[in-house]
Amino acid sequence: MSMPLPTRSEEIRYLKGVGPKRALALEKIGIRSVRDLLYFFPRRYEDRSRFRTIQELKLGEAVTLRVEILKIYLRRLPRMMLFEMVVGDSTGVLHAVWFNQPYLRKQFSVGQKIILFGKIEFFRSKLQMQSPEYEILEEEEEAIHTGRITPVYPLTEGLFQRSLRTTLHEALAHQLDRTLEDHFPRDFRDSLALMELKEAVQEMHFPTSFETLKRARTRIVFDEFFLFEIRLMLKMKNLKTKYRSHPLRDQEKHLETFKSQIPFILTPSQEEALRQIFEDLKQSHPMNRLLQGDVGSGKTVVAAGALYLAAQNGLQGALLVPTELLAEQHYKKFAAWLGPLQGKKVGLLTSSTPQEKRQRLLAELKQNKIAVLIGTHALIQEDVKFQSLALLVTDEQHKFGVHQRCKLLYQDPRPHQLVMTATPIPRTLALTLYGDLKTSCMKELPRGRKPVKTYWIKRSNQPEILRHVRQEVSTGHQAYFIFPLIQETEKSDMLAATKEYEKLRLGIFRGIPMGLVHGRLEAYERDSLMTAFHRGEIKILVATSVIEVGVDNPNATLMIIENAERFGLSQLHQMRGRIGRGEHASECFLFGEPKTEEGNRRLQILTQTQDGFVIAEEDLKLRGPGEFFGTRQSGEFLFRIGNPMEDEALLLQARECASRLVESEVFEKSEQWQATKNLLDLMTLKY
């Protein structure tokens, strides 16, 4: 959905002082209309409200002064022009200098009262400010740049703080009333102690105090969260009212049969997750549920139970996974767990499936002879047609594009959807990233699993650890060596997988079958090596982080991670989750020499806990929400101002209000809904 074009009165170039050239610069930072400008909030603030006397000044301080111009000089120096003013108050004098800005001479005159803001220096026995911000004091004129809490904005080439503040001041003075209308009625605002919208926007740009700035921010953040939650609630309501799905029957009977067919006892977490999923699946509207659990918590068997229910109802299910190796692993497990499916079978479809076999499988799929189809991206092809798809399970859905998954979901009746992730998500971020999904959470490990002992090791102890690995491998176990780089670079002192693989293969591990896996290999090469490792043909696997996704090898008991400080905390936890998946004791050794406190903290946390939810919370604190989810490299997340972690109470309050509004019987006829809908349309938030 594209942004509607602003009218002439709304276009930013027609605002006083802007014009076509500056309008182009503003467009680079997303400002095309006056509304865009009003919602372009400062990234920080400087307190320039406290005036100091010259007598109080200290070197290196950034201060605000109210002074009188005593002398003015404009000098030509070699290769530059120097503009200098001597200013003073009742306690002393100070020199203010600007380089190559001769036009300033016309703006000032001796005897003028001005405000200066800048850092204090000492130059040739004189107190000095270099290129300070300034403001000429006029009677009855409000200060914009100094003498107040001053906004500092993110900029781009061709824009400057001073001119942008002036433009915003002009917009607030003459366009605010005609541009913004509060979408919340007064009684609603009062019930939540929310500031009126126009006042909040004014205070966000030019706060009268830090207390009013805090209240203004609360209002803007609440709006962001409320509009976000409204969209999610509308999406959930639409699923219930606009779409129909196959209701799955005889749940108790089929659950007991399924439990009797699997070779282990379900954990309480698995039982509860299945109960919640089965409750959703009996409805005639689509299930939309997130199943999150720590690495090794047994999500796969829960997915198998849900797909078994679909199959026993005479319908079909699909499991979409990111790699061929995972697809093959799941196929073997499901074929064993699900048993006879009313004469139908479990199918496997990947890019490696031979063409003749693929065509036969697709024909059987259309005839409903395949009850459960497991596969990779190969499932999302135009010629893959189900006769009656009732349930789609997606493992690690961020590995697939939204449009890819939609191809399977946009059917009539609409399939139920279960999304699985092994990346534990803190509650507040689950409300934002997966707020339209109900959530099932699994924290227990299956019976018999032993915790992985994790050690942060000094480089000097490496020979001892390598001997330990050789001893373990000689008893029949397997090991991973993880490196952050594929090949060495001149700019990095990190160890690289290719070089270290050769050193290990020709050195201490000579004669032991080894393999090397990294992201530059073709998918079939990578999968072939991983399969050989899984079968025990390869005893030691040297790899980059490509092994972090769901590989299940119960015989792998050792992991050595080199330059561990170069990996994220959650990523380290995911990689560690590749061991300790059987009944044997397992160990993870971290080699790392962090150069930052954050790096030290990451490795300390990993040695102290195996709880993925605790690790996720700590990782979120260290990296922030955007980097945690890969949604930004430079700091941007889902909201301009709000932070789900820091503003959790506001997020929950906004969610409750949005839910109450959407569930109201008179919802779409209410005055508040019309105002909210108008704002959603303006902000192009499609629901």
Is the domain 50-147 a CATH 2.40.50.140 member? yes
What DSSP line would sit under 291-342, residue for residue?
Answer: EEE-TTS-HHHHHHHHHHHHHHTT-EEEEE-SSHHHHHHHHHHHHHHH--BT
Q: Report the CATH number of the 251-442 domain.
A: 3.40.50.300
What CATH class has 1-44+159-179? mainly alpha
pLDDT of 432 strictly over 80: no
**If pLDDT is split at 50, 70 and 90, which confidence band does 556 have?**
very high
| 528: Cα separation from own chain's centroid | 32
Q: What is the average pLDDT score of the chain?
A: 86
Question: Which residue has 């300034």 as its token pair?
Answer: 134
Answer whether 547's CB lies under 8 Å from 578's CB: yes
CATH 1.10.150 region(s) of the chain? 1-44+159-179
Question: What local confidence, expressed as pLDDT, does residue 267 receive?
Answer: 92
What CATH class has 452-609? alpha beta
Out of 33-37, 139-143, 484-488, 523-527, pick the least confident: 139-143
Answer whether 273's CB lies under 8 Å from 393's CB: no
Question: What local confidence, expressed as pLDDT, does residue 3 receive?
Answer: 44
**Dihedral pair phi/psi, residue 358, rounded to 5°:** -65, -45
Amino acid in the structure at residue 210: F
pLDDT of 24 strictly over 50: yes
Question: What local confidence, expressed as pLDDT, does residue 676 receive?
Answer: 63
Answer whether 575's CB lies under 8 Å from 543's CB: no
CATH 3.40.50.300 region(s) of the chain? 251-442, 452-609
Within the chain, how many helices (H) and strands (E) appear?
A: 23, 22
More confidently predicted of 625 and 273: 273
Rounded percentage of the chain residues whose pLDDT exceeds 70: 89
Out of 119-123, 273-277, 640-644, pick the least confident: 640-644
Question: What local confidence, expressed as pLDDT, does residue 2 receive?
Answer: 41
pLDDT of 163 strictly over 80: yes
For 500-635, strand residue ranges (E) read 514-517, 540-543, 556-561, 586-591
More confidently predicted of 626 and 174: 174
CATH 2.40.50.140 region(s) of the chain? 50-147
Q: Which of 286, 331, 302, 316 is nearest to 440 (CA)?
A: 302
User: Interhelix angle for 299-312 vs 268-281, to 10°?
Assistant: 30
- Give the whole-angstrom CA distance, residue 470 versus residue 62: 61
- Give the whole-angstrom CA distance, residue 378 versus residue 253: 33
Per DSSP, 461 falls in state G
- Give the whole-angstrom CA distance, residue 414 versus residue 682: 30
Answer whether 115's CB lies under 8 Å from 66's CB: yes
What would the pLDDT profile of 392-428 be if each residue is shown by its tens digit? Answer: 999 875 554 544 556 777 788 999 999 998 777 777 6
Question: What local confidence, expressed as pLDDT, does residue 685 receive?
Answer: 39
Question: What local confidence, expressed as pLDDT, does residue 217 receive?
Answer: 97
pLDDT of 550 strictly over 60: no
Amino acid in the structure at residue 657: C
What would the pLDDT profile of 321-350 be if each residue is shown by its tens digit? Answer: 988 888 988 999 999 899 777 789 999 999
